Amino acid sequence: METKTITIRVNAEVARMFEAASEEHRRKLEVLLSLKLSDATRSKRSLEEVMSEISRNAQARGLTPEILDSILNEE
């Protein structure tokens, strides 16, 4: 499978965790992210439906509007 490097924005904590991970763990995370991005772009669901599912999952994992605001306002 041919691969290509892309750049995506993530919060600083996620970036630190990724950078601190072993090479093997980073490769696994890259494969997982690639699969998720592929699913999201090939999905017949609308972007709104995908975003709603992501929102529900984030809330179920404890992400509150206040935490999201804090993450989005980080520089």
Residue 34's domain spans which residues?
A: 1-42
Whose tokens are 């520089």? That residue is 75
Do 23 and 49 share a domain, yes or no? Answer: no
> Do residues 19 and 50 both lie within one domain?
no
- Give residue 46's pLDDT: 80
Question: Do residues 28 and 18 touch, judged by C-beta distance below 8 A?
Answer: no
| Residue 7 shares a structural domain with residue 31 | yes
Q: What is the DSSP letter of 9?
A: -
DSSP string computed for 11-73: -HHHHHHHHHS-HHHHHHHHHHHHHHHHHHHH-SS-HHHHHHHHHHHHHHTT--HHHHHHHHT
Give me the mean pLDDT over the 31-51 stretch. Answer: 82
Indicate the pLDDT class of residue 75, thresholds 50, 70 and 90. low
Confidence grade of residue 6 (pLDDT, cut at 50, 70, 90) = very high
- Supply the pLDDT for residue 19: 93
